[in-house]
A and B are shown apart, each in its own frame.
Chain A
């Protein structure tokens, strides 16, 4: 029965793909990957926060958290980076989240495996599209969606409309173009070292909230304690990307 489903799906995909390589929703017809996370995974949302509010131990601490979670699900052979910016300090230039994560494209934790010709079949995140580098790219959007922004375990992140607590506020400290803020205000919980004073810019993994759809720069938190993050609609999760 299952075999029949797969072969019908594969046949339909091939028919459509032959005439239109950009057939948009082949994933519905695809066999599920045997493993979760998929061996293709190069992007995930942390399933758990570090837990000390905006104090992540700096970028290093955040990267280590990505690496640790990836390792726990068998994806530790890749080099993982947290999608976070830091702001300029005297003698220390700003760091842009988009410049830390390699070039992509990136595949999500349930990315389907490879077809008989060795082609990757699944949707991916393209750097210029997720940041809307051109007006057309920004207007059209990207694959980043609630169903794409899964944890390293392949699970959905609770968002608007799901059981509380909402976990969709994702720490980024970044502007919509993926770069660090350049004003004097704090947008990074003091470069990810504060669990009290300050504020962090967050995006929404489900693309819902605050009247916009930004995955990386929707609004600011009112403080940097773990409680402040929870009050704003998150728990301190962040995005992790593999650079290799």
Chain B
């Protein structure tokens, strides 16, 4: 019963229910959307076509809802390679403030977003399950929404839009910077859909892996939005095993 009412709330708030209109985003005359979680993944696990492919995905989804006039960037880091320096997610997304589909401010600036000082970090930003909306205004389903054992199976998840899918790819540390280059935290800088040979989770030698965070701030024993834990691999099915589908955070830089 409780699950049903939660489900109903999600459907209502998410625009999946009939008569929720995409055209409402950004409130007429109000604050335009400059932040969203992708409603759909690219779908090839951790292979996003690099940062360029991920940015293009953000831009495409934004354009589909009339927000293509802005320049969109995926919140992703890449790790250093010989002759190529690391890229920090926090350095890619402009300076804020950023607002969601509803015109609600997610955070005023980079310092609040990442909790650069003790005081800022303790209070936190305004990215929550209620505000971490997709470009369609949907809440991202998380733990305790429509709980089903099959929600770690891609075949089930791809046809069940309200099942748990709250892990968002970031490849970043808590402060929004890239990890050191030795272990993989970015599915080989977002070009790999490979899985490790051995079962397990997170970074390690010969382990394709991506660091993820939670827009609903619930999971991993910490609730970090951008750096909670790793994955079981970089294939699409591996991402789903821990409740992700390969969603991205998108920020407008202008």
Q: Counting CB contacts under 8 A, is A142 at the interface?
A: yes
Is B149 a contact partner of A5 (Cβ separation < 8 A)?
yes
Is B220 a contact partner of A138 (Cβ separation < 8 A)?
no
Q: For chain A residues 91-150, which have a beta carbon within 8 Å of chain B?
A: 123, 129, 131-132, 135-136, 138-143, 145-147
Q: Counting CB contacts under 8 A, is B201 at the interface?
A: yes
Which of B71-79, B112-120, B182-190 forms part of the interface with chain A? B112-120
Measured CB to CB, the nearest residue on chain B to A129 is: B222
Is B222 a contact partner of A132 (Cβ separation < 8 A)?
no
Residues of A within 8 A of B119 (CB): 176
Which of A13-21, A71-79, A193-201, A234-242 forms part of the interface with chain B? A13-21
Is A132 a contact partner of B121 (Cβ separation < 8 A)?
yes
Q: Counting CB contacts under 8 A, is B105 at the interface?
A: yes
Is B199 a contact partner of A135 (Cβ separation < 8 A)?
no
Measured CB to CB, the nearest residue on chain B to A138 is: B121
Query: In the bound complex, how far is the Cα of B243 from the Cα of A24, in angstroms?
Result: 11
Is B229 a contact partner of A22 (Cβ separation < 8 A)?
yes
The verdict on A20 contacting B224 (CB below 8 Å), with A138-B115, A176-B122 known, is no
Question: Which of A15, A16, A161, A176 has a CB less than 8 Å from the CB of B130?
Answer: A161
Query: In the bound complex, how far is the Cα of B218 from the Cα of A176, in angstroms?
Result: 20
Please give the distance in Å from B99's CB to the nearest CB on chain A.
12
Is A213 a contact partner of B128 (Cβ separation < 8 A)?
yes
Is A135 a contact partner of B121 (Cβ separation < 8 A)?
yes
Is B198 a contact partner of A25 (Cβ separation < 8 A)?
no
A-side interface residues, number (CB < 8 Å): 39
Please give the distance in Å from A73's CB to the nearest CB on chain B.
20
Residues of A within 8 A of B128 (CB): 207-208, 213
Residues of A within 8 A of B229 (CB): 22, 24
Query: In the bound complex, how far is the Cα of B123 from the Cα of A139, in angstroms?
Result: 9
Residues of A within 8 A of B144 (CB): 147
Q: Counting CB contacts under 8 A, is B181 at the interface?
A: no
Please give the distance in Å from A202's CB to the nearest CB on chain B.
13
Measured CB to CB, the nearest residue on chain A to B123 is: A212
Which are the 7 A-B pairs with shortest beta-carbon distances? Answer: A19-B200, A213-B124, A138-B121, A176-B122, A24-B220, A212-B123, A139-B174
Chain B residues with CB under 8 Å of chain A are 9, 13, 105, 114-115, 117-119, 121-126, 128-130, 143-144, 147, 149, 174-175, 198-202, 217-224, 227-229, 242-243
